[in-house]
Amino acid sequence: MDSITVHGGHTLHGSIPVSGAKNSAIKLMAASILTDQPLLLTNMPRLADTNFLGRLLQQFGIAVTERDGADGQETLFDAREITSTFAPYDLVRQMRASFNVLGPLLARTGHAKVSLPGGCTIGARPVDLHIDALTRLGASIHLEEGYVSAMAPGGLRGAEIEFPFVSVGATEHTLMAATLARGTTVLKRAAREPEIGDLARCLVMMGARIEGIDTDTLVIEGVTSLNGGAWSVIPDRIEMGSYVCAAAMAGGEVRLTKGRADLIQSLTDRLVEAGVEITPTDDGVIVKRDPAVRLKAVDVATEVYPGFATDLQAQFMALMTTAEGVSVIHENIFENRFMHAPELMRLGADISVHAGEAHVTGVDQLKGAPVMATDLRASVSLVIAGLVAEGETSIGRVYHLDRGFERLEEKLGACGADIRRVKGPPVEGPGDDH
């Protein structure tokens, strides 16, 4: 498997373009199942996760064509004929979000058999909410030998569904299924992440009738069919926030382009408090920091959007490892999302973890060492730490990183980072989807 080596001590200067959002792209890809007309997605990231899902869509008979367009990378999906509604374990296990094909298949064809996604390295994320919501929409669902078999021969029907807690996946999944359900569906306590708004707006472009976008109550009036069209994937706020943290860690001046500053406001507010200079631009932000001036420790607590994103918690922890003082980080979304802490400690970080709380005492200097990525966001946190660590940091299992970051070494290297990939045999494993 590949590894990445970083030699620390280089400030960053230059520009980094932000890719399309992974967490939006994979749900928009699933939405292509809902229509028999072509759906063109532009600003598409090329990632392991989009590749996994593309292979699964092809299993259903959907033509998937990747190409370079006038505005960059794009993918055309043609689902005029669904030839299979079976999603095997070998494909679904590689990415939990693959389970979200169940609702669109059910809404479009009236039946589907989809593997349960299996375990998750960052905490329990059961699909009970998904199954319960589809049942409320009139589906008959049976669990057998690790598969969900769902039937709705007469089609789905609208219902009022109040989620017991905010769930991004369940909101997106139910939203897609409800677009083709007869009557009105009301989703209460819906998640409000920007990626959900992106999905909803794309569905409206396709002919869906949705009200309450960007609020915690979505009202969907079912239609008999959806059309195709073209849609540009929203900028990836997690990738953008990760590079903001990288620039703040290494020092220098970096301009993030093709992004949106408003999507990472909760992060940039904390960074300004820590001593980083953040300047919003028309298409991103400029990050500036004098490496001779030490950052100040800042506390954060992860929350559902628009609060501090759990997907940026590991990156922020890496930033705090050399800040002056003690930072307290509360993880309120996933119960097992501090697995990067022991790896940061191998680099000399002073971190103590108690349940959902981590105390990070800033040290004067990190030192390079071999470390191991444990999940997608943990992998990039180790890259960020390696940017200032003395000597060489070697990061293993970076197939996690490839699931959510496009051309990371190229983007950081263009700004002056001493970073390179060491090639190894390919690895395909279960993903954490974040």
**Residue 49, annotated as binding a ligand:** no
Provide the b/e sequence for 169-206 (b: ≥16 CB within 10 Å): bbbbbbbbbbbbbbebbbbeebbbbbbbbbbbbbbeeb
**Residue 126, annotated as binding a ligand:** yes
CB atoms within 10 A of CB 367: 14
**Residue 260, annotated as binding a ligand:** no
**Residue 411, annotated as binding a ligand:** no
Element (H, E) at 392: strand 392-396
CB-CB contact of 115 with 146 (8 Å): yes
Please tell me what DSSP assigns to residue 200.
Answer: H
**Residue 264, annotated as binding a ligand:** no
**Residue 364, annotated as binding a ligand:** no
Catalytic residue selected from 120, 202, 245, 415? 120
CB-CB contact of 285 with 244 (8 Å): yes
Taking the CA of residue 66 as centre, how many other CA atoms within 13 Å lie in the half-sphere pointing to its CB?
A: 13
**Residue 175, annotated as binding a ligand:** no
Taking the C-alpha atoms of residue 22 and residue 49, their distance in angstroms, rounded to an integer, is 8
**Residue 269, annotated as binding a ligand:** no
Of 247, 238, 199, the closest CA to residue 405 belongs to 238
**Residue 304, annotated as binding a ligand:** no
- Our answer to whether residue 120 is catalytic in this structure is yes
User: Where would I find the beta strands (DSSP E) of 290-375?
Assistant: 300-301, 326-330, 350-354, 357-361, 370-372
| Planar angle of CA 35, 41, 45, nearest 5 degrees | 135
Of 295, 351, 347, the closest CA to residue 322 belongs to 295
**Residue 422, annotated as binding a ligand:** no
Strands of the 111-115 sheet, one edge to the other: 86-87, 111-115, 147-151, 140-144
Give the CA distances from residue 275 to residues 242, 247, 270, 313, in Å, rounded to whole numbers and listed in that order: 17, 13, 9, 18
Taking the C-alpha atoms of residue 125 and residue 91, their distance in angstroms, rounded to an integer, is 18
Taking the C-alpha atoms of residue 84 and residue 62, their distance in angstroms, rounded to an integer, is 9
Q: Residues at the annotated binding site for UDP-N-acetyl-alpha-D-glucosamine?
A: 96, 125-129, 311, 333
Kindly list the catalytic residues. Answer: 120
Q: Residues at the annotated binding site for phosphoenolpyruvate?
A: 22-23
